[in-house]
Amino acid sequence: MKKLTQRIDKERLLLGVAAPLLAVVAAVVVTALVILATGKNPIDAFSEMGTYGIASDSQVYILNKATTYYLAGVAVAVGFRMNLFNIGVDGQYRLAAFIAAVLGGALTAPGWIAIPLILVCAMATGALWAAIAGVLKVTRGVSEVISTIMLNAIATSIIAYLLQPGQLGQLDPAGTLVSTKPLPQGSHLFNIDTGASGILDGFIFVAVVVGVAYWFTLGRTRFGFDLRTVGLSESAASASGVSVKKMVVTSMIISGGVAGLIGMPTLLNESYQYDNSFPVGIGFTGIAIALLGRNNPVGIALAALLWGFLERSTNHLEFQGYDKEILGVIQGVIVLCVVIAYEVVRRYGLKRQQQRVGAELAAQAAATTENQEVA
Partner 1 sequence: MKILYGMQQPDEGTITVNGEQVTFSSPADAIARGIGMVHQHFMLADNLSVLENVVLGAEKLHGIGARARAKITEISDAYGLNVRPDVLVEQLGVADRQRVEILKVLYRGAKTLILDEPTAVLVPQEVEALFDNLRELKAEGLTVIFISHKLGEVLSVADEITVIRRGTTVGTADPRHTTTKQLAELMVGSELPTPETEESTVTDTPLLRVEGLHLSQTDLDGVERIILDRINFTIHKGEVLGIAGVEGNGQSELVEAIMGVRHPDAGVITLGDTDVSHLSTRRRREAGVGYIPEDRHRHGLLLEAPLWENRILGHVSERPNSRGPLLDIKGARADTERIVEAYDVRTPGIDVTAASLSGGNQQKLIVGREMSHEPQLLIAAHPTRGVDVGAQAAIWDHIREARRAGLAVLLISADLDELIGLSDTLRVMYRGRLVADADPATITPEELGSAMTGAAAGHLEGPEQTEDDAR
**Integer CA distances (angstroms), 195 to 60, 132, 191, 198, 262, in order:** 11, 45, 12, 6, 26
> Could you tell me the smallest distance in angstroms from the CB atom of residue 363 to partner 1?
10
Q: Which of 259, 336, 322 is nearest to 20 (CA)?
A: 336
Between 18 and 199, CB nearer to partner 1:
18
> Could you tell me the smallest distance in angstroms from the CB atom of residue 213 to partner 1?
14
Residues that bind partner 1 in the complex, under the rule CB under 8 A: 1-2, 4-5, 8-9, 219-226, 228-229, 232-233, 235-236, 238-243, 350, 353-354, 356-358, 360-361, 364
Between 108 and 372, CB nearer to partner 1:
372
Between 106 and 367, CB nearer to partner 1:
367
Between 4 and 54, CB nearer to partner 1:
4
Dihedral Cα 91, 103, 188, 300, nearest 10 deg: -20
Amino acid at residue number 260:
G
> Could you tell me the smallest distance in angstroms from the CB atom of residue 238 to partner 1?
6
> Could you tell me the smallest distance in angstroms from the CB atom of residue 205 to partner 1?
24
> Could you tell me the smallest distance in angstroms from the CB atom of residue 354 to partner 1?
4
Number of Cα atoms under 13 Å in the Cβ half of residue 145: 4
Q: How many residues does the chain have?
A: 375
> Could you tell me the smallest distance in angstroms from the CB atom of residue 153 to partner 1?
27
Between 9 and 172, CB nearer to partner 1:
9
Transcribe 22-53 into DSSP letters: HHHHHHHHHHHHHHHHTTS-HHHHHHHHHHHH
Instruction: Using only the alpha carbons of the chain, give its radius of gyration.
Output: 24
Distance of alpha carbon 307 from alpha carbon 97, whole angstroms = 22
Between 116 and 219, CB nearer to partner 1:
219
